[in-house]
Amino acid sequence: MAQQEFLPYAENMDDYSDKLREAQSADSMPQFFKLTAQLPEKGNTDTILAATERSWVVIKTYAEGGENTIHAHPNDEHTFVVLQGRANFIGPNDEKRTCEKYEGVIMPAGCYYRFESVGDEPLVMIRMGFVIDPEQDPLGRIKADGSDFDAYTSENKSDTLVLSEAVFP
């Protein structure tokens, strides 16, 4: 059996930004992608599958945890769809909703939230982002106090990545 090839995952915010720019297509041709990922044993991955100037598709995997600090994306409306596992989405007033497999949520730009994986299996989600102003940073995120916030930090409970042999789907 041939070894499966996977797109490279982002290792930090600068790498995520670089990979997004590399994936962006300026032409009007369709971009095809496959929803597959190597699952983490520890930590999480963000893999950009396709992108245009105003939108992008990412497959996100979490061994546990999630994006654990309340934050918002002021220049990005986005949608999450759970493909495996379960996720609690929590709002700024601790309101909580659990999304099961094949359920999702749409987040308007500036909406404060966090999420966490719940259950016994790794969380796999697709995230589709849509930039509001292409002249501004599409990846910008802010904390509840309005200060900039990098997702790849211990403050966000980002953990050292250890990949497993398991593959989604």
- Domain 13-26+33-158 top-level CATH class: mainly beta
Quick: pLDDT tens for 51-86: 988 899 999 999 988 777 899 999 999 999 999 999
Q: Which of 22, 31, 9, 29 is nearest to 161 (CA)?
A: 9
pLDDT in tens, 92-137: 999 999 999 999 999 999 999 999 999 899 999 999 999 999 888 8
- Hey, is 16 helix, strand or coil? helix
pLDDT in tens, 158-169: 678 899 999 999
What predicted TM-score, i.e. pTM, was given to this entire model? 0.87
E-state strands within the chain? 24-25, 37-42, 44-52, 55-62, 66-72, 76-84, 86-90, 96-99, 104-107, 113-118, 123-131, 142-143, 162-168
Mean pLDDT (the chain) is 87
Q: Which two tokens stand for residue 161?
A: 């990545």
